[in-house]
Amino acid sequence: MCHSNCVRFTVAAVAALLAAGGWAAPAATAGPTVCDYPDCTPGIAPGVVLGAPCDNTTYYVFGVTSWGRLVFCGSPRRYEPRWFRSPPMAGVKDENSSCIQYQNYVAQAPDGLFLTCIAQNAQSLWIRGDT
């Protein structure tokens, strides 16, 4: 019969597995960290009405109209944010990474941040699109 020795062995075995990383929860599945097209970009709002008010010009700003037009939530000249036609979109990109082949495109960072490709100081980089 197994009493306290079995309990101690079981506790020790579980502790060893946890310490070695052998018994861990499965990794959470996140969206892509980089993709090249709007259709692999998470968080694009469906059924957006071009010109209608919107509320977030910083994160997850993209939407698509009922007829398939890609739009973004923007606030030009400090007016209330509205849905506008989007420039070409390059999917998911990393902020401050090179975008030399995507001049004047927009993108979304893995965390949802709105990005735009701007050439300045002899570099083309993905920078915040809400500035």
Interval 41-99: pLDDT, tens:
999 999 999 999 999 999 999 999 999 999 999 998 778 999 999 999 999 999 999 99
d(CA 46, CA 19): 45
Domain ranges (residues) in the chain = 28-128
Minimal CA–CA distance to 67: which of 84, 92, 49? Answer: 49
Task: Evaluate whether 80 touches 62 at the Cβ level (below 8 Å).
Answer: no
Task: Evaluate whether 98 touches 125 at the Cβ level (below 8 Å).
Answer: yes
Report pTM: 0.73
For residues 19-31, average pLDDT: 39
